[in-house]
Chains A and B, each alone.
Chain A
């Protein structure tokens, strides 16, 4: 015991010494619960329906902060409890698939379009169009599932590490960027897979593979999912994320990191994050109300406050972020890339990652 005490004392002294050298400070991010509801979107008003009760279970992909804010605001307005199971899209779909004999979720909110399309085709999704769906971005209206916010794929640049700020994908083939570029692995990241499929759709396979031939010849690294790729570039191990999701990069910018978000000039993709109600929902009225709320001015403003692109174009993005109508798009359709994606990822992997 005596020695343990010594050890603890030693550790305490060590921590104290560290404390004397560490003199920075950081304040917790303010909870943007009271996101401003823009006046221009008054026609997206939502009033809580009477007579709702019980609870709804929502399986929702991260970010957790946004999900909690949506749940709190809805509970406050309706009295309906919202139980959130928050995780990555991969874990959520794994749990959903394992639960099909006895589904537990009422509402599902994913970061990836393709699984939602598959569930709808399999008849798992309640055929429900949320209130105010008519003003939602046209491509984001699926068959029972609707994109309620989205994120653009961008060039995320560490301004300390990059030789200069690139403007387009092809700039990254320049020797200046040798060994400086990182792309999330399309086998792990749905958005990265979407980007490759959209490029093939827009430019054809030959031109797309030609670009990647040059990028790989210039030392393009492909690894991990979106989060680790951004982390790597923020830390300065590489200078640019090729096809990084914009919202987490904006988070880093707003935290004060030396990061710049660039929308590629030749066009990119915006990945909508779909929401849908399961056919087996045990509280469908409350579930519909929650989905309606998600497309209201208030619900959409919460997405904007979390750096997402709102599905309702009348709700503005957060100050400093690029709005939907200023994104240059590659020529693709969501339906098409959901179908062609898996085979193209296989081809990409065998060409470059074998």
Chain B
């Protein structure tokens, strides 16, 4: 590896064990795109930490304040807790759904996607409502309900709610990786007499580690930058983290952008540190061999199968059943101060929010914008993943890698303010600001990290020797791309696009702050209804958004399976 220090195009040369390939043509355009899209808005805000803004001085000296050290500690604790809980939820399920006969039950995938479609602030509100004093949990379960309240109103409860949102992502990335591990490796080890534990430790764990590290990276930085739960639940229990303090600085009088920028720099530094850690963990390339691969299957004994179903049930209970019980009841309750009797329940709120001019326009607009942004971000994401793989260990490759996840390291509200600073600058001759294009750009930037990590996982599972064989066999660039690269990347591309679309559909912060006046979008609409005391309307719209998302999910999944079947046939 180290002998190739320059990128060369031109005639292909065969060097021992490795082919020197053509350079990555997308490198400079990508760096430019990410520079303008991601780095420039970040710089536009973060520089205010040093320069001050709007009459306020630099806030950097305040960072060393002991109170702020505690806030940093809280942020780290919460991030680690979320990664731990999300791993506990995702890893066993990924194994069950990839390597065991449970994978025939495709509906499980649909159920596990529902938490990801749920806006985190709604999930927090649902949990808080379920466990509140005299709430449903207390009425149904008595002291157990009270215990649940104490559990939810704690840092662990915050981590549980936040992990419920992001474990889906970790699950998909792990499952994709496990799907790609050929059965021959595990079976070979088994034939050689390895025990189950040895096979896990020597085969499965090392092969799954890079994918897990990628997933955990995103889970951690999303947990550090997500505002919904810290602002609703964290503020209530007095557990300040960086993102809730940034929110306070940006939205509560007197506004203080320099402090928000200073805290954001800390988050960015934290993100870069975790990213570097992930790079180090994944430094060893994992190759599966270029042979045609059959999927691994592990037969489960009756006890293990029961345990698997039990775990699935528990995860579904926490991430789907309880929140949606609360959301559904909320969307149907006529008078909240009256008991929950059939007379006090109705479906009318669904009709009310779907009335033209109400929430339906907002849903349609959000769906279109999310579709566009997810598609653009997927194209950019594929280019990023391929370029990163090609320029492994080179500065340009690392720069693209870091920039492609950088937008997740700072809270979306900071990015939104960066977009305003950058795109509303008076010297720009033309600007997308105050048009729907601004939202497409904004969504694209925040969807990119999740999409890139998905495509990268698929890319990392492909043995480079396949490309080498194709090139030696005389395949041109286009042929290799369409016949080898894209088909092999397809699982990652599809799950990346889907996650991006679902995330864009429910995105709240960019949607609130950079939308053109008079353009309604789904999440701002829901939050605004809730803010005005229209709880039932807000919850009804949430349910409709999730049903719409599920339809898209099923359509995409069906297309994917048809395509996969055709390839096998």
Q: Mark A residues whose CB is within 8 Å of B.
A: 1, 3-4, 6-7, 18-19, 21-28, 57-59, 62-65, 83-88, 90-91, 93-95, 97-102, 104, 112, 114-115, 118, 122, 158, 160, 185, 187-188, 190, 223-225, 227-228, 230-232, 234-238, 248, 251-252, 255-259, 342, 353
Give chain A nearest CB distance to B47 CB in angstroms. Answer: 14
In the bound assembly, the distance between CA atoms of A241 and B152 in angstroms comes to: 23
- Flag whether B198 is at the interface (Cβ < 8 A): no
A4 and B355 within 8 A (CB): no
A27 and B348 within 8 A (CB): yes
In the bound assembly, the distance between CA atoms of A94 and B363 in angstroms comes to: 25
Give chain A nearest CB distance to B514 CB in angstroms. Answer: 8
B524 and A87 within 8 A (CB): yes
**Contact A231/B347 with A93-B251, A95-B420, A100-B54 known, Cβ cut-off 8 Å:** no
A7 and B531 within 8 A (CB): no
Beyond the given A22-B342, A257-B336, please list 18 additional residue pairs across the A-B interface where CB-CB is below 8 A: A3-B106, A3-B107, A4-B106, A7-B107, A19-B347, A24-B334, A24-B344, A26-B352, A57-B517, A83-B516, A85-B518, A95-B420, A97-B257, A98-B513, A114-B253, A185-B235, A188-B248, A190-B253
- Flag whether B281 is at the interface (Cβ < 8 A): no
- Flag whether B417 is at the interface (Cβ < 8 A): yes
Q: Mark B residues whose CB is within 8 Å of A.
A: 53-55, 105-107, 110, 129, 132-135, 232, 235-236, 238, 248, 250-255, 257, 328, 332, 334-338, 342-349, 352, 355, 413, 417, 420-421, 424-426, 434, 512-513, 515-518, 524, 528, 530-533, 535-536, 554, 557-558, 561
**Interface pairs (16), CB distance under 8 Å:** A3-B106, A22-B332, A23-B343, A26-B346, A26-B536, A28-B352, A83-B518, A85-B517, A88-B251, A97-B257, A158-B337, A188-B248, A190-B253, A228-B232, A248-B533, A342-B254
Give chain B nearest CB distance to A215 CB in angstroms. Answer: 18
Residues of B within 8 Å of A115, CB to CB, are 253-255
Residues of A within 8 Å of B337, CB to CB, are 158, 160, 234-236, 252, 257-259
Which of B107, B132, B347, B424 interacts with A99 by CB under 8 Å? B424
**Contact A25/B346 with A83-B517, A83-B518, A342-B254 known, Cβ cut-off 8 Å:** yes
Residue of A27, A102, A248 with highest tally of chain B CB at under 10 A: A102
Residues of A within 8 Å of B248, CB to CB, are 187-188
Residue of A nearest to B418 (CB): A98
Residues of B within 8 Å of A228, CB to CB, are 232
In the bound assembly, the distance between CA atoms of A93 and B257 in angstroms comes to: 11
Residues of B within 8 Å of A235, CB to CB, are 129, 132, 134-135, 336-337
Which of B421, B516, B558 interacts with A101 by CB under 8 Å? B421
Residues of A within 8 Å of B132, CB to CB, are 232, 235, 237
B336 and A28 within 8 A (CB): no
B254 and A258 within 8 A (CB): no
Which of A4, A94, A187 interacts with B255 by CB under 8 Å? A94
Residues of B within 8 Å of A259, CB to CB, are 337
**Interface of chain A, helix or strand or loop or mixed?**
mixed
Sort A-B residue pairs by CB-CB distance and give the 6 closest, nearest first: A90-B251, A22-B345, A85-B517, A98-B420, A83-B517, A258-B337
Residues of A within 8 Å of B554, CB to CB, are 4
Residue of A nearest to B105 (CB): A3
Give chain A nearest CB distance to B32 CB in angstroms. Answer: 24
In the bound assembly, the distance between CA atoms of A132 and B515 in angstroms comes to: 34
Residue of B nearest to A71 (CB): B518
**Contact A248/B532 with A57-B517, A91-B512, A94-B250 known, Cβ cut-off 8 Å:** yes
**Contact A188/B106 with A230-B533, A231-B336, A237-B132 known, Cβ cut-off 8 Å:** no
In the bound assembly, the distance between CA atoms of A210 and B312 in angstroms comes to: 53
Residues of A within 8 Å of B528, CB to CB, are 62, 64, 86-87
Residue of B nearest to A235 (CB): B336
Residue of A nearest to B44 (CB): A98
Which of B335, B517, B532 interacts with A62 by CB under 8 Å? B532
Which of A1, A21, A90, A100 interacts with B345 by CB under 8 Å? A21
A91 and B513 within 8 A (CB): yes
Residues of A within 8 Å of B133, CB to CB, are 237-238
Residue of B nearest to A60 (CB): B517
Give chain B nearest CB distance to A5 CB in angstroms. Answer: 9
In the bound assembly, the distance between CA atoms of A84 and B528 in angstroms comes to: 14
A257 and B335 within 8 A (CB): yes
Residues of B within 8 Å of A231, CB to CB, are 336, 533, 535
In the bound assembly, the distance between CA atoms of A6 and B105 in angstroms comes to: 11
**Contact A64/B532 with A84-B518, A100-B54, A104-B424 known, Cβ cut-off 8 Å:** yes
Which of A6, A57, A94, A98 interacts with B107 by CB under 8 Å? A6
Give chain A nearest CB distance to B437 CB in angstroms. Answer: 15
A98 and B336 within 8 A (CB): no
B531 and A227 within 8 A (CB): yes
Give chain B nearest CB distance to A117 CB in angstroms. Answer: 10
Residue of A22, A98, A104, A236 with highest tally of chain B CB at under 10 A: A98
In the bound assembly, the distance between CA atoms of A236 and B133 in angstroms comes to: 8
B345 and A104 within 8 A (CB): no
B252 and A26 within 8 A (CB): no
Give chain A nearest CB distance to B518 CB in angstroms. Answer: 4
